[in-house]
A and B are shown apart, each in its own frame.
Chain A
């Protein structure tokens, strides 16, 4: 399927006088696994936030699932795992079940409580990330990797078609990282979820992602892995203009 689920056209973003993003064009098709890399301060997180409607771009247009972002209502189709998912207050009194249940809230809408079907979806999401037996544990008691999986489960609980992850493995140990990327690959291949991931972790994603976008204020065309990382991970297509391909 070649359905475009994200189309960003001529996106620029300025904050005060400084240009954060310039003339970004990006299309993401259903079923893709797209990696976004770039140095610190390159505007990667800003790009994701614009994609999610959290920040309004200075200029440019965005379409989500074929619909202009201003009219887009089906936010549950997009699961977002923010960069600071692991950075919240560890003493916050909330257990794994409660965190994952948040994933159902937006689909449910106001004035309605979660029902049996929601409970089943929450259980399934916990099952997929392998955290079912931790259901009643306080989130602060879990390891970084486990917490990250809980946040993924929360995103999965909204039964998303697209999952956006912002540096998801910060604070996760090396063994946990590999396991985590295996898991993402499985989500992409088996559950057919489109993935967009911002990461520094080029070694781990290189063999798994389908496409790589390099950003440093602009989408830059000399995005060669040799230059960036000193080696070329195999099986990876590099995107030069990111406009179709």
Chain B
């Protein structure tokens, strides 16, 4: 067996990474096509505030990040309903989250190393507890997408008609941002706060170049995301790089290859 697969931490990183790839593609397809690509970025910075607070108070940071970002997701959605522009609503929460993180960082200087791994992702940090929490949240998120697939698909394509046919559009929009918040938190440890949104967007963008229908967009995006995660983790292991960077760089290279290939073929 290759060295990379022998270590427990790498096995956990692969399991977590593949799961993240699948979930990010499923959620990413909806948010990219709903023109909400920025929301992943916003929610991840909000999560940073939650992580800083968790580290400061000595609470399990994944949970504090989860609470922070899920509450903010609901908040962003209600600000939007209060006729605040969608991107402004995101920006307000984004700023608040980042500000909390910065304030706490200046108060306590003891956890810089930990925080570094949350910013850029690290393959070393996924322990058994993390994996269990991530799996639980992952099953919940993916389950919700499967159960509400047809409704989420409808509101993504045509919100007005969905509403006219009696589909509870507002509730589903809230569900989608909450699921996005959970996805961001699941992905934090491996991909890192600064790059989470890339994994939500880039594989979907790659898939959109060749997919012929909606279901295919999700499935092809999953294949590209898994490929990027696996290759990225291996590179990260052998060259001692932050995993988030390696994964996202791989996904961008895959995007470029597909784009060039598609333009060659026509």
Which residues of A pack against B, CB within 8 Å?
A: 52-54, 73, 75-76, 78, 80, 82, 84-85, 88, 91-95, 97-99, 101-103, 105-106, 108, 110-111, 113-114, 136, 138, 154, 158
Give CA–CA (A69, B216) in the complex, Å: 38
Interface of B is mostly: helix
Q: Nearest Cβ in chain B — how far from A5, in angstroms?
A: 16
> B164's contact among A52, A97, A113, A136, by CB below 8 Å, is which?
A52
Chain B stretch 122-163: residues in CB contact (< 8 A) with chain A: 147-148, 150-151, 153-154, 157-158, 160-163
Contact A54 B212 (CB under 8 A): no
Q: Which residues of B contact A110 (CB under 8 A)?
A: 147-148, 151
Contact B153 A54 (CB under 8 A): no
> A98's contact among B147, B151, B153, B166, by CB below 8 Å, is which?
B153
Give CA–CA (A12, B119) in the complex, Å: 55
Q: Nearest Cβ in chain B — how far from A104, in angstroms?
A: 8
Q: Which residues of A contact B208 (CB under 8 A)?
A: 91, 93
Give CA–CA (A53, B162) in the complex, Å: 12
> A75's contact among B147, B153, B165, B217, by CB below 8 Å, is which?
B165
- Say whether, besides A92-B33, A106-B166, A113-B150, A82 and B213 are in contact (CB < 8 Å): no
Q: Which residues of B contact A101 (CB under 8 A)?
A: 150
- With A97-B213, A113-B150 given, can you name 14 additional A-B contacts, CB distance below 8 Å? A80-B165, A82-B158, A93-B208, A93-B211, A93-B214, A95-B214, A98-B213, A102-B161, A105-B162, A110-B147, A114-B150, A136-B212, A136-B213, A158-B165
Q: Nearest Cβ in chain A — how far from B158, in angstroms?
A: 7
Q: Which residues of B contact A113 (CB under 8 A)?
A: 150
Tell me the number of A-to-B contacts counted with CB atoms below 8 Å: 78
Closest A residue to B160 using CB positions = A82
Interface-central residue, B147, B151, B166, B214, by most chain A CB under 10 Å? B166
Closest B residue to A51 using CB positions = B164
Give CA–CA (A138, B211) in the complex, Å: 9
> B166's contact among A73, A94, A136, by CB below 8 Å, is which?
A73
Closest B residue to A82 using CB positions = B160
Q: Nearest Cβ in chain A — how far from B259, in angstroms?
A: 14
Contact A105 B213 (CB under 8 A): no
Contact A105 B212 (CB under 8 A): no
Chain B, 180-221, contact with A by CB distance < 8 Å: what is the 0/1 string? 000000000000000000000000000010011111110000
Contact B160 A54 (CB under 8 A): yes
Interface-central residue, A84, A85, A93, A105, by most chain B CB under 10 Å? A93
B235, CB-defined interface residue at 8 Å: no
Q: Nearest Cβ in chain A — how far from B83, in angstroms?
A: 13
- Say whether, besides A54-B163, A82-B160, A99-B157, A138 and B213 are in contact (CB < 8 Å): yes
Contact B158 A75 (CB under 8 A): no
Give CA–CA (A231, B140) in the complex, Å: 64
- Of the A-B pairs whose beta carbons lie under 8 Å apart in the complex, a sample of 20, sorted by A's number, is A76-B165, A80-B164, A82-B160, A88-B158, A92-B157, A93-B213, A93-B217, A94-B157, A95-B213, A95-B214, A98-B153, A98-B213, A98-B214, A102-B153, A105-B151, A110-B148, A111-B147, A113-B150, A114-B150, A136-B212
Give CA–CA (A95, B215) in the complex, Å: 10
Which 3 pairs show the lowest CB-CB distances between chains A and B?
A: A75-B166, A106-B165, A95-B213
Give CA–CA (A98, B216) in the complex, Å: 11
Q: Which residues of A contact B213 (CB under 8 A)?
A: 93-95, 97-98, 136, 138
Contact B150 A94 (CB under 8 A): no
Q: Which residues of B contact A111 (CB under 8 A)?
A: 147
Give CA–CA (A140, B90) in the complex, Å: 31
- Say whether, besides A93-B213, A110-B148, A102 and B164 are in contact (CB < 8 Å): no
Q: Which residues of A contact B33 (CB under 8 A)?
A: 92-93
Give CA–CA (A154, B154) in the complex, Å: 12
